[in-house]
Structure 1
Amino acid sequence: MNPSRKSVRRFSVATAAGLALTVGCIATPAAAVEPSPKPATAGVQLDYLDRGLVAAGTPGGVFLSWRLLGHEATGSTATGLTGTDFAVYRDGQKLATVTDSTNYLDASGKATSEYDVRAVVGGVELDRSATATSWSGNFKDIPLKKPADGVTPKGEAYTYSANDASVGDVDGDGQYEFVVKWDPSNAKDVSQVGYTGNTYVDTYKADGTLLHRIDLGVNIRAGAHYTQMLVNDFDGDGRAEMMFKTAPGTKTVTYNPDGSTARESFISLPTEDVAAGYANTDDYRMSAADYYEHMVATFRGWHDHPEVKAGNWPATLEEAFGIAPQYQYPLSRTDAEAVTNYFMDVYAPSRSARNNLRAFEGFILSGPEYLTVFEGATGKELKTVSYEPGRHDDGLMWGDYAMSRIEPGNRVDRFLAGVAYLDGKKPAAVFARGYYTRSTLASYTWDGTDLSPVWNVDSGWTPMTNPFNDGPHGRDGTDPVFGKLTTQGFHSLSASDVDGDGKQEVVYGSATIDDDGSLLYSSFDTMPPQSATPGEEARLGHGDAMHVTDIDPDRPGKEIFTVHEGGIWAPYGYAMRDAATGEVLFGEYSGRDTGRGMIGDVDPDVRGIENWAIGMQSADGDKLSTTSPGTNMSIKWAADMTTQIVNGSGNQTPTIDDWKRGRLLTAEGTRTNNGTKGTPSLVADVVGDWREEMLVRTADSSALRMYVSTEVTQHKLYTLMHDPQYRAEVARQNTSYNQPSYTDFYFASDMDFSHVPLRAAWLPGSVKALQQTLEDLVDSGDVAGPVTGQLTASAQQAAKAVNDGDASKAGQAIQRFAGFLVQQKKKDEVSDLARTMLDYQARNILRAFEG
């Protein structure tokens, strides 16, 4: 049974009224909404969500789990938050009122039972959830439609598997849709040679309905470093958009009900690019022959390169390669070919046996690059702008030819993306390019029409004396402010309010960008005696894993735990630092690439959140063990609020393991993604209570399987998606090397719930929900008389103001609504139930403006 939202609302009103009379819940009208200070900017914008009720079959009965919304929490106890309680119903009969959690085990439940929950506010049951019937077990399959197999220009066949996923409410109904990226079997790391198939991004309803597919086209290479997809409601209209890097040839495909293609629509190219002759039919993939010609052209123009003309690079290629002078410049075609042959066949192999530039193919090193905003519900292109910064070249200036491993297209094509509440109110998009040498970030806001730059950060080029033989890592860029950002970036980034000013910073690996785009800090430390450069000050440097939250509850502020791959050239293999200042609190030198590290409350007997990379440490640095849990991905799965670990990579079956209790789940018939990284498609609080769900693909990629924890918990906490840091972290989880999502507050088995922020968040769908409730109450006769028009007009004015982005006017309209609600004119009729329901919703909206 899946009644429409309209029928659910109407049944809720009638049923609640009947219950109120039966059990005597309503004795007097609820307190009136009192005037508040004139509202200004609304509180932090988060997702408007429904109750998210799920029912899962277990050996002990049917397990029910649902959301406490952020605005419903009003206080705390030793075990959780207080606020809204919940009445649980099976087949229309009340089972219980739950006050200490948002889950319930119905020992007598059956597979055919139908459940709903209702918020209990002031003794009145309100806001009946949609009906849920039991899953057969602890998971639900979301059917997927696999793309057709393909063949590369070289005749190599490839297939598809579902990869990373994200969630967003694309249609404003309070339920998350699922955005799934499809990777071809020949997806590549940026340093790997070869063609790849196209990357696809699908959007599905929970029942498997494919809303649309975005084909990124042949000019976006497939692999973890290329497509970072952001899914979020950026403009505050209650419906999520998608943003990611695109190119000529990117198109949206929509479908008929029978699954056949209804329409294909390419992105619109900027006017100047059309005038320059670019088209959506272009193919910029480089063959081995193309690359050879590219190097011939590069060498013919060597004398005219700005770095050569400025005297920064060798004047001749012979000098660059360390051979005797023999050519006249500018090079003739014949001489340029001779130099290219020498470079590919002699010089490059002499630098590394792995350098086989004759086989270099499949890369996209030319052509336009774009950033596109898509409508989440339809995949319609909303805006396309140039991707900033552009590649500039094939990686020559980025240091891709300077190291012993010559890797054209590597450092230049390292992309990151994330969401950050830079103003403390609305989500902005952050896109980055490069992190080993030149390091850049650009931030944007989307208002429904314009993609507006907020700030741009650029380290400048890393100076090199010889672009074919140098060590540009760890060297300051040319920008006087951001030069120390080089080599500090990771394969991910995070958004967190590290300095406590209510606005999120961008934690860019070993450095942090302040909310206004200034450099908050870039972390350095002294190299130890056993390192390559004892006593020198050096960057903490690049690494593969980073975790940002309140790790140590006994010291103020947050901490950042990172691992580092600099080996003998880095001061630490892992480090814990103060998130606000970048100061290292403790760490350990390793002398090698420390590739993995994780944090989590895996031992409830130890204070704080444990961390591990070289053994395991406590939050304050005490060594706990020489062994440690896995590092693929963590998950908040257990009833006691400890942390569990997702294990399994490649063709292994994924598991969820507890450091103390052992295996909690074996996800038979599924697989993780991203090779040895072994990461699920997504770990996030998608449905149910505050615990995270694990989303993994089935082995044949026919479905995205969502697992839910069925341990009964006595802890009560609002959905993690109503924590701004956590929501931003989920949006960026798929970026490059997937990292867990963390809350803005200390989350562990010994957490003090009085320290959990009670947020008056702005939920864009809340005014629409108020309008719908009013409509139902008018239809039922609970609201009648002239006040009906006054309330309706006020709600309409608030809705228009929200659509116009005018928070102040929206708040004022809701205040007028509240005033009309409490007036007692003779011809007006507002039942006690109606006043309670409308009062409750109006109060929550006003709290968003006050809070």
Structure 2
Amino acid sequence: MNPSKISKRFLSVLAAASALALACSGVPANAVETSGRDTSGVQLDYLDRGLVAAGTSEGVFLSWRLLGHEASGASANGLTGTDFAVYRDGQKIATVTDSTNFLDPAGTATSKYSVAAVAAGQEVDRSEDVTSWAGNFKDLPLKKPADGLTPKGESYTYSANDMSVGDVDGDGQYEYVVKWDPSNSKDVSQVGYTGPTYVDTYTADGTLLHRIDLGVNIRSGAHYTQLLVNDFDGDGRSEMMFKTAPGTKTVAYTSDGEVKGEQFISLPTADQEAGYSHADDYRMSAADYYSHMVETFQNWTEHPEVKAGKWPATLEQAFGTTPKYQYPLSQQDAEALTDYFMDVYAPSRSSRNNLRAFEGFIVSGPEYLTVFDGATGKELQTVPYKPERHDDGLMWGDYAMGRIEPGNRVDRFLAGVAYLDGKKPAAVFARGYYTRTTLASYTWDGRTISEVWNIDSGWAPMTNPFNDSPHGRDGTDPEYGKLTTQGFHSLSASDVDGDGKQEIVYGSATIDDDGSVLYSSFDQLPPGSAAPGEQARLGHGDAMHVTDIDPDRPGKEIFTVHEGAAWAPYGYAMRDAATGEVLFGAYSGKDTGRGMIGDVDPAVRGIENWAIGMQSADGDKLSPASTPGTNMSIKWAADMTTQIINGSGEQTPTIVDWKRGTLLTAVGTRTNNGTKGTPSLVADVVGDWREEMLVRTADSTAIRMYLSTEVTQHKLYTLMHDAQYRAEVARQNTTYNQPSYTGFYFASDMDFTKVPLPSVWTPGSIADLQSRLDRFIESGDVSGPVAKQLSAILQPAVGAINRGDGEQPGPPIERFLAFLEQQKQADQVSESARETLVHHASSVLKMLGR
């Protein structure tokens, strides 16, 4: 461009947009030249202003987003950057500079509001009008699945369960993905049939786009299905990725709620040739399980572990009885041994062992990983799930402990999203964590699921699969063997070593971004433990929290609780996230099941933590017994402290402040997941940086989204434009739901100069630029031949994004800006249209590092 040919007003807008985008990208002003290098930021959701209005007793409360690329610096109370003009019924009523919320005392239920971004003194972006909610919540209507019957004739109903969000159509607004659980959903250790799991996708007005029926071959429960929703291929629209099986199908709906069509996923050619079909039903009846054990015993001498001499040569040896049978076993002898195993041996190990009642499990048949189009539910690709189950849990240790639990350890699944390369999201799927531990990561480029790395600890050795203690033993793999028994019921993606790429915090171990083991944490068992002085794994636990907990020490920390009892060095521990070193903790000698962190006391430096009493971030004991709740936390308050969500089962959920008491009672709603008492989702979905609480109504006819209406003077970009937080939201629904944390210190005493200004790339911003141009053409603000010319120039950029190619939009956008500069006639491109288009195109270029 030739600056001498640009109007002063146009030049000031362009300069402001360029400087702002450069500051937000972390690129020095004198380092614009990229020499063709990839300097774009981390790929995150393109989001619109997210304006919401809520009626309060004091007027109408407004809340909206500051986007990541709009933040440019810091003040004492927040970030600086884009300011905002607030409009009511078309009239400007305020300019807001120190926050992204506003209380309008004169507002009414019929008032229409919008906000406009202000750059270089000019308004360059105005939101769509919104009207206020009647109160501090809004209902998202749901379409409940029909009731059903199990093969035994047992009836079940459905309740809305966990959720995720993603922009499936690229319009800058989140759609809502809801998992439906049947009333007979099960923990992996529980016997019985379950109804199918359904996954719905709704627009913000409650329109059901599609329903994915996982089918009878995916058991229902917290451990079986995790929903990964994200824009994996960089086309500006979210996909969905999760475990499927024969029988999984998509049901598409019309806008009026009628079924438009159904489509099963594609079975791999090898499975079709092997005779598998969507009519298959792999659910085991009690009789099926009995036959399965008879067959297992008949084939005992052929088992690789038996042939290698690692397991007893006979079942009598395994059960500790007198030799009696000839091997290989006849049908009759195998049945006799099965009878003994079920009726005598198993009950002698534990009174809870009732293998005659074992039913409803799925321990055979194909398992798949499928990518679905977020907007249509169309299957994009299906591949075999890795690793396969191998068996019904025999090799996994499911028969070895006193409590015999076939199908338990083998079917412990985890899933998450991680920016392993620091740029694009990858999907991570895991199986097993008590004994054998496996993880696999994948990318999706719009055409193909590609494996990034695959980790396997190897089997935890057993001397007798029917009487042993496989927990805490190294697996057979020389590199990954020490990962066994270190996994939790969740995982986190966080850049713990500061290299710009996220690691997988896998409970008491951490996997580096390249799939290598960063560390696996051990410590010495203390006096009073099972083996004082021995080195032991920190081991498995239920709750895990990863962020910058202590602002006065470098890097991040991990707070975990552990259930290893006398075999675990700690009941709770605070670790250095980069090294795994325990900073402080306490031995409990029992299963310590719950723990949480949060800035619940603003008078205490850092983020408090509690499991057995409450400690400060550096380990000082604050309370020996009294603690806040541990179900779920929420960033709800104006002062940036943390609140706790309480209420499980049929209790009414509440949001409680440790100092001020109950802030919200969510009448008519319920949490999920039994005693875990977790909302469907807690995330920064709309409005400013605070989190919303999404819970189901008691009858599951709607998801109710609650909004904090406390006026805050703190200004911060949407948390969804922090890479760790976005990844944490995507994995929040995994197994035992854990809060989502930012990659930086977030608390009431935060130093805003230390809040990172994110280097963000939002592919959907290209479609937004096209949409803005289209609206200007429709309104006449862009007219004549220039309208078609600008559209034609922009098309290669739109095409590149649709292909998921984030490197190619730059040159067309540069040409777009240059062409705009040449258009001087106000009757062809109005000044306001020019300013807006330049602002957004310049932001795109700077996000691309150009």
Q: Does 1:164 align with 2:157?
A: no
Aligned to 2:673: 674
1: CA distance, partners of 2:444 / 2:73: 34
Aligned to 2:705: 706
SS at match of 2:682: strand
1: CA distance, partners of 2:827 / 2:86: 34
SS at match of 2:519: strand
Q: Which moved more, 1:199-208 or 1:689-698?
A: 199-208
Aligned to 1:737: 736
Return closer, same or farther for 1:29/1:748 CA change in 2, 3 Å cut-off. Answer: closer
Offset, 1:787: 5.9
Q: Does 1:435 align with 2:433?
A: yes
- Asked if structure 1 preserves the Cα contact closer than 8 Å seen for 2:690 and 2:708, the reply is yes
The 5 A counterparts of 1:143-542 are 143-542=141-540
Aligned to 2:22: none
Give the TM-score normalised by the residue count of structure 2: 0.95
SS at match of 1:697: strand
- Asked if structure 1 preserves the Cα contact closer than 8 Å seen for 2:530 and 2:566, the reply is yes
Offset, 1:502: 0.4
Offset, 1:525: 0.5
1: CA distance, partners of 2:804 / 2:679: 37
> Which amino acid in the other structure matches residue 141 of structure 1?
D
> Which amino acid in the other structure matches residue 247 of structure 1?
A
1: CA distance, partners of 2:14 / 2:116: 21
- Asked if structure 2 preserves the Cα contact closer than 8 Å seen for 1:488 and 1:540, the reply is yes
Aligned to 1:800: 799
2:97 to 96, 99, 108: 99
Aligned to 1:13: none
Q: Does 1:764 align with 2:763?
A: yes
1: CA distance, partners of 2:107 / 2:36: 47
**Count of residues in Structure 1 that have an aligned counterpart in Structure 2:** 827
> Which amino acid in the other structure matches residue 743 of structure 1?
T
2: CA distance, partners of 1:487 / 1:831: 65
> Which amino acid in the other structure matches residue 500 of structure 2?
G
Q: Does 1:68 align with 2:66?
A: yes
Offset, 1:768: 1.7
Offset, 1:785: 7.1
Consecutive unaligned residues in structure 2, runs of 5 or more: 1-7, 19-31
1: CA distance, partners of 2:648 / 2:112: 37
- Asked if structure 2 preserves the Cα contact closer than 8 Å seen for 1:760 and 1:844, the reply is no
Map Cα deviations across residues 263-295 of structure 1 (whole Å, 9 max, x no partner). Answer: 111111101001101000000000000000000
Offset, 1:235: 0.7
Offset, 1:390: 0.4
The 5 A counterparts of 1:77-156 are 77-156=75-154
1: CA distance, partners of 2:814 / 2:554: 38
Map Cα deviations across residues 586-636 of structure 1 (whole Å, 9 max, x no partner). Answer: 000000000000000000001100000000000000000121100000000
Q: Does 1:719 align with 2:718?
A: yes
Return closer, same or farther for 1:253/1:591 CA change in 2, 3 Å cut-off. Answer: same
Aligned to 2:13: 30
Aligned to 2:815: 816
Offset, 1:166: 0.7
> Which amino acid in the other structure matches residue 37 of structure 2?
A
Q: Which moved more, 1:575-584 or 1:811-820?
A: 811-820
Offset, 1:788: 5.3
Offset, 1:131: 1.3
Return closer, same or farther for 1:165/1:827 CA change in 2, 3 Å cut-off. Answer: closer
2: CA distance, partners of 1:543 / 1:28: 58
- Asked if structure 2 preserves the Cα contact closer than 8 Å seen for 1:39 and 1:812, the reply is no
> Which amino acid in the other structure matches residue 683 of structure 1?
V
Map Cα deviations across residues 483-531 of structure 1 (whole Å, 9 max, x no partner). Answer: 0000000000000000000000010000000000001100000110111
Map Cα deviations across residues 141-171 of structure 1 (whole Å, 9 max, x no partner). Answer: 0011111111111111111111001111111
- Asked if structure 2 preserves the Cα contact closer than 8 Å seen for 1:246 and 1:372, the reply is yes
2:612 to 605, 608, 614: 614
SS at match of 1:30: helix
2:44 to 36, 43, 46: 46
> Which amino acid in the other structure matches residue 97 of structure 2?
T
> Which amino acid in the other structure matches residue 320 of structure 2?
G
> Which amino acid in the other structure matches residue 49 of structure 2?
R
Offset, 1:430: 0.3
2: CA distance, partners of 1:530 / 1:711: 49
SS at match of 1:850: coil
Q: Does 1:553 align with 2:530?
A: no
Offset, 1:822: 3.2
SS at match of 1:809: coil
SS at match of 1:726: helix
- Asked if structure 2 preserves the Cα contact closer than 8 Å seen for 1:420 and 1:429, the reply is yes
Aligned to 2:27: none
Map Cα deviations across residues 122-145 of structure 1 (whole Å, 9 max, x no partner). Answer: 111122112111111100000111
SS at match of 2:220: coil
- Asked if structure 1 preserves the Cα contact closer than 8 Å seen for 2:83 and 2:119, the reply is yes
2: CA distance, partners of 1:112 / 1:258: 27
SS at match of 1:429: strand
Offset, 1:780: 5.1
Aligned to 1:19: none
Q: Which moved more, 1:151-160 or 1:809-818?
A: 809-818
SS at match of 1:773: helix
> Which amino acid in the other structure matches residue 612 of structure 1?
W
1: CA distance, partners of 2:791 / 2:138: 40
2: CA distance, partners of 1:36 / 1:250: 50
SS at match of 1:263: strand
Map Cα deviations across residues 617-666 of structure 1 (whole Å, 9 max, x no partner). Answer: 00000000121100000000000000000000000000000000000000
> Which amino acid in the other structure matches residue 303 of structure 2?
H
- Asked if structure 1 preserves the Cα contact closer than 8 Å seen for 2:14 and 2:842, the reply is no
- Identical counterparts, % of pairs: 78
- Asked if structure 1 preserves the Cα contact closer than 8 Å seen for 2:234 and 2:805, the reply is no
> Which amino acid in the other structure matches residue 184 of structure 2?
N
- Asked if structure 1 preserves the Cα contact closer than 8 Å seen for 2:551 and 2:745, the reply is yes
Q: Which moved more, 1:406-415 or 1:259-268?
A: 259-268
Offset, 1:28: 6.8
> Which amino acid in the other structure matches residue 34 of structure 2?
P
1: CA distance, partners of 2:823 / 2:555: 50
Offset, 1:108: 1.1
Map Cα deviations across residues 525-555 of structure 1 (whole Å, 9 max, x no partner). Answer: 0110111110011000000000000000010
> Which amino acid in the other structure matches residue 633 of structure 1?
M
- Asked if structure 2 preserves the Cα contact closer than 8 Å seen for 1:40 and 1:807, the reply is no
1: CA distance, partners of 2:255 / 2:837: 38
2: CA distance, partners of 1:674 / 1:826: 62
- Asked if structure 2 preserves the Cα contact closer than 8 Å seen for 1:760 and 1:850, the reply is no
2: CA distance, partners of 1:413 / 1:779: 55
Q: Which moved more, 1:840-849 or 1:373-382?
A: 840-849
Give the TM-score normalised by the residue count of structure 1: 0.95
RMSD over aligned CA atoms reads 1.7
Consecutive unaligned residues in structure 1, runs of 5 or more: 1-24
Q: Which moved more, 1:407-416 or 1:206-215?
A: 206-215
Offset, 1:759: 1.7
Q: Which moved more, 1:817-826 or 1:439-448?
A: 817-826
Return closer, same or farther for 1:800/1:341 CA change in 2, 3 Å cut-off. Answer: same
